[in-house]
Amino acid sequence: MSDLICVGSIAGSFGVRGEVRLKSFCAVPEDIEDYSPLTDEEGKERYPVVLTRAIKNGFAARLGGVETKEAADALNGLRLYARREQLPSLPDDEFYHTDLIGLEVYDTGGTLLGRVKSVQNHGAADLLELHGSGLKSTVLLPFTLDAVPTVDLNKGRIIADPPEGLL
């Protein structure tokens, strides 16, 4: 498991004074500020974050060291990470997306279905994007208790009971 968890991303500049558009991936979007300073993917660059106001699809925010629109524009697309120990511990039936990516997925009979490539959410519920040699194309498995009864992070696997006709 990674020590860094992606909690947001920069979606460009906001205004002309160095503010950025910040998308939060936190369950409570405003909590992203509590995990400041955030880092880049390697954990090298540190960015103190102060939310200035809510805007459409996110927040306007100030990042430490970013004073101009050009500097804010240069950070467009940057994914921001918090250290795992900064984040709240989760109940047994909840998982950080980063912990699910890469896990092998087996059916209830023990047959390898594929690996989790990503976790997506298009509004209704989380979906596990599965890829594997035994699959004809990408499969989006609903991440529900019925379809995914077991997630074993220690063994690096998921046991799935896909809905009829999905595979």
Segment 17-49, tens digit of pLDDT: 999 999 999 889 999 999 999 999 988 899 999
Order the strands of the 58-63 sheet from edge to edge.
Answer: 46-47, 38-39, 79-83, 4-14, 19-24, 58-63, 49-55
pLDDT at 7: 94
Cβ neighbours, 10 Å, residue 102: 10
pLDDT at 20: 96
Instruction: Give the whole-angstrom CA distance, residue 11 versus residue 101.
Output: 23
pLDDT at 1: 52
Low-confidence ranges of the chain (pLDDT < 50): none
Question: Exposure pattern of 111-150 as b/e (b: 16+ CB <10 Å)?
Answer: eebbbbeebeeeeeebbbbbeeeeeeeebebbbeeebbee
Place of tokens 């799935």: 160
Per-residue tokens: 81: 């990470």
Instruction: Give the whole-angstrom CA distance, residue 154 versus residue 35.
Output: 26
What domains does the chain contain, in order, with CATH numbers? Answer: 4-86 (2.40.30.60), 97-160 (2.30.30.240)
pLDDT at 92: 81
Q: How distant, in Å, are the alpha carbons of 69, 109, 126, 156 from that of 75?
A: 10, 47, 28, 34
